[in-house]
Chain A
Amino acid sequence: MEEHEAIARLKRGDPSGLEFLVQRYQVLAVRTADLIVRDRAAAEDVVQTVFIRTFDRIYQFDSARPFGPWLMRCVVNDAIKAAAKLERQVSLEADSESDVLALSEALHDPTPSPETLLEAAQSSEQVWAALGRLSPEQRAVVVLHYYLDFSETELTEKLNRPRGTIKWRLHAARERLRELLHPLWHVEAINPETLRDD
């Protein structure tokens, strides 16, 4: 079955069309939602809800356009809401703070080895911790742009925001990340090639 056929089936109310789309997009959708919501179970809830809504509202989808971006827009928007709710319930994760502090301490060690620095610079955990300190909206823009590879123009369209808003959000998110990962940026700026050669 091709995607357009699945959508046609779905528009006729045939669940087999939805099953095809779920199988095709669920992994990417859950990963995307998880990067924003930062909770696997909540991310799955978001994606399930989006797929069920897709079943209800597929008539709104223009079949001439690609389905994937449309779906991901729904996922991201719902993930932002879910993240906002979650973050109101729990304060910043304690380990996020400690990760950043640990990294900071390691980088201020007067005699850190290049390997240590490189390891720190490449630590996905540190990036994860830094992402956690962004607002859900900022995380969403980072995820759309850097993970899903949406352009600014596409972001404008997907997030239904004026271009100025997107530019600002992307800028704000990048600056916030840069601030949180300052030691990492700093390390690379000093001597990235040496570190890699080592």
Chain B
Amino acid sequence: MEDRKLTSVLKELAEQRVPEADLWDTINSQLTSRRTSHPARLQFSRFAIATVTALLLVTAVLAVTPWGQAAAQSVLKFFVPGEESYPLSPEEIATSRANVPTIAPTFMAQLVTAEVPAPTATALAPGDGCEQDATLPTVSYCGTISLAEAIVGFEAKEPPTPPFGFTFVHASADSELHKIALVYTCPSGGCQFFISQSTGPQPVSEWDKVPPEAVEPVKVNGLDGEYVAGTFILKPGATEVTWESGASTQRLRWQEGKYQFEIAMGGSPEGSGQVVDKAALIALAEGLTANNATTVVAAANADLASIEAVEAEAGFTLKQLTVLPEGFQFDSARYVPQAKGAWLVYSYEGDTGTAAIQLWTIRAADAPGDALANDFPPEALQAVGVNGYPAEYAEGMLTLTLDGIGPGTPTPAPTWAYDRNRTLAWSDGELRYTLFFFVSDWYGGELSKADMIAMAESLK
């Protein structure tokens, strides 16, 4: 059936089913009756504000703070039934606004001279211990899982390797709630991933409330579990938060004996080539094991090393960006021994989840072939030059969206999306460079091709 014919048939259908409509009398009577009453405004805690603002930030905050986590007892086994939408007071809205995503670009980023990176602290390096939360004295962030386990008093289950190729960030431990959360992040910085487990009664918070119809019963190793894809968000201009179904926030909860488990995924692993869906989360849950007492997962936390330390490991000198978009600053460096390459990471106002510039450097001899050919469709690549060297440039990113997928629908393949993400790859003969500009909806800026090239040519 041709598109035009489908349009024609739809119009015919619509006219047949609804030849006319006259709603005004009903609407008017409802408006009239409403004016005679004053419905009470619901009062919500400050927790609600934090819960509904931005799913990524909310996920990040809630999963590591004690008030943000609980296993509720209700008609649902592991979540608490809530409304699909609810209003916020003007004060709550004002507080929330700062975290509402921008969605569309609102300005062209301006390049400015980059500040010379200060010597980087190596906080939370393996074995360095735990750091107490500044405002929550019962919460600590540890560089290894075993350190966190010592605080909560039980051995946590963990995956054999960091899930989906994500990077382990830390293990948070709450000594009061006997709760531990293993925190991971996507390579692109566009998502956060948590595996939390607790024992004993937990407080109920807004984080636990979901519309009952959003909950899917599942089985985890034969045990009852619940899966939810969605979150409450406050859309631009809105005065009430609404439940937004979809895969951008996914949670899986279940219980084993006296331990309550939650796996939470906030944001999207777009560009990582990973499919993180319900089946993947269940498979991950079923593969968790408590026999990893000797696993030093926190070794991946070496991305907090200094540039000098990374250079020493890499065996080559790292050139650094000397111009950056306004608001960006050096964040961290990391050597990847398996690939023999190094990352320099620049974050936007200290948050790589908002936007990040990442420079991958590797010896040309260790990276033969076309740098981008495997991960980018040919039509997305443009030939450009960097300091006279041939280069490849792309706008967009492979995107995998699971929204709207239901039983019986196939798992989609990633598709190329022409968005604000940018990539530029070139080689000077000795070293090969790939410069990535990652953005989330929380960053309103856009970077041009000329700016990407200017940044690349600023390497010193």
List chain A positions with a Cβ less than 8 A from chain B. Answer: 15, 18-19, 22-23, 26-27, 29-32, 34-35, 40, 43-44, 47-48, 51-52, 55, 57, 60, 81, 84-85, 88, 121-122, 124, 127-128, 135, 137-138, 142-143, 146-147, 149, 157, 160-165, 167-169, 171-172, 176-177, 181, 184-185, 188
B13 and A164: CB pair below 8 A? no
B16 cross-chain contacts in A, Cβ below 8 A:
124
Q: Which residues of B39-70 have CB atoms within 8 Å of chain A's CB atoms?
A: none
B3 and A44: CB pair below 8 A? no
Q: Show 25 A/B contacts (Cβ-Cβ < 8 Å), sorted by A.
A: A22-B24, A27-B21, A30-B23, A31-B17, A32-B14, A35-B13, A35-B14, A47-B23, A48-B30, A60-B237, A60-B239, A81-B84, A124-B12, A124-B13, A127-B9, A146-B3, A147-B11, A157-B104, A162-B399, A164-B270, A164-B419, A168-B399, A168-B415, A169-B401, A188-B2
Choose, from B106-114, B141-149, B402-410, B443-451, the stretch at the interface.
B402-410
User: Closest CB of chain A to B212's CB: distance in Å?
Assistant: 10
Partner of A164, one of B17, B26, B409, B417: B417
User: Closest CB of chain A to B81's CB: distance in Å?
Assistant: 14
Q: B137 an interface residue at 8 Å Cβ cutoff?
A: no
* In the bound complex, CA of A128 to CA of B404 (Å): 19
User: Closest CB of chain A to B39's CB: distance in Å?
Assistant: 12
Q: B316 an interface residue at 8 Å Cβ cutoff?
A: no
* In the bound complex, CA of A88 to CA of B237 (Å): 30
User: Closest CB of chain B to A63's CB: distance in Å?
Assistant: 13
B459 cross-chain contacts in A, Cβ below 8 A:
none
* In the bound complex, CA of A146 to CA of B104 (Å): 25
- Additional A-B contact list (10), CB under 8 Å, known A127-B1, A168-B403, A172-B409: A19-B24, A30-B21, A31-B17, A34-B18, A35-B13, A43-B18, A44-B23, A47-B21, A121-B1, A169-B403
User: Closest CB of chain A to B216's CB: distance in Å?
Assistant: 12
Given contacts A48-B30, A85-B213, contact A34 B17 (CB under 8 A): yes
B270 cross-chain contacts in A, Cβ below 8 A:
164
Q: Which residues of B434-450 have CB atoms within 8 Å of chain A's CB atoms?
A: 441
* In the bound complex, CA of A122 to CA of B6 (Å): 9
B10 and A168: CB pair below 8 A? no
Nearest neighbor of B85 in chain A, beta-carbon distance: A81
Q: B222 an interface residue at 8 Å Cβ cutoff?
A: no
* In the bound complex, CA of A14 to CA of B23 (Å): 18
Partner of A122, one of B9, B401, B406: B9
B9 cross-chain contacts in A, Cβ below 8 A:
122, 124, 127
A172 and B18: CB pair below 8 A? no
A34 cross-chain contacts in B, Cβ below 8 A:
14, 17-18
A164 and B213: CB pair below 8 A? no
A172 cross-chain contacts in B, Cβ below 8 A:
404-405, 409, 412
List chain B positions with a Cβ less than 8 A from chain A. Answer: 1-3, 5-7, 9-18, 20-24, 26-28, 30-31, 34, 84, 103-104, 213, 235, 237-239, 245, 270, 399, 401, 403-406, 409, 412, 415, 417-419, 441
* In the bound complex, CA of A135 to CA of B246 (Å): 13
User: Closest CB of chain A to B248's CB: distance in Å?
Assistant: 9
B10 and A146: CB pair below 8 A? yes
A121 cross-chain contacts in B, Cβ below 8 A:
1
User: Closest CB of chain A to B422's CB: distance in Å?
Assistant: 16
* In the bound complex, CA of A42 to CA of B409 (Å): 26
A52 and B30: CB pair below 8 A? yes
* In the bound complex, CA of A35 to CA of B235 (Å): 25
A29 cross-chain contacts in B, Cβ below 8 A:
21
A138 cross-chain contacts in B, Cβ below 8 A:
404
B104 cross-chain contacts in A, Cβ below 8 A:
157
B7 and A146: CB pair below 8 A? yes
Partner of A48, one of B11, B13, B23: B23
User: Closest CB of chain B to A27's CB: distance in Å?
Assistant: 5
A165 cross-chain contacts in B, Cβ below 8 A:
399, 401, 403
* In the bound complex, CA of A37 to CA of B392 (Å): 47
Nearest neighbor of A127 in chain B, beta-carbon distance: B9
B27 cross-chain contacts in A, Cβ below 8 A:
18, 22, 48, 51-52
A51 cross-chain contacts in B, Cβ below 8 A:
23, 27
B404 cross-chain contacts in A, Cβ below 8 A:
135, 137-138, 168-169, 172
A176 and B10: CB pair below 8 A? no
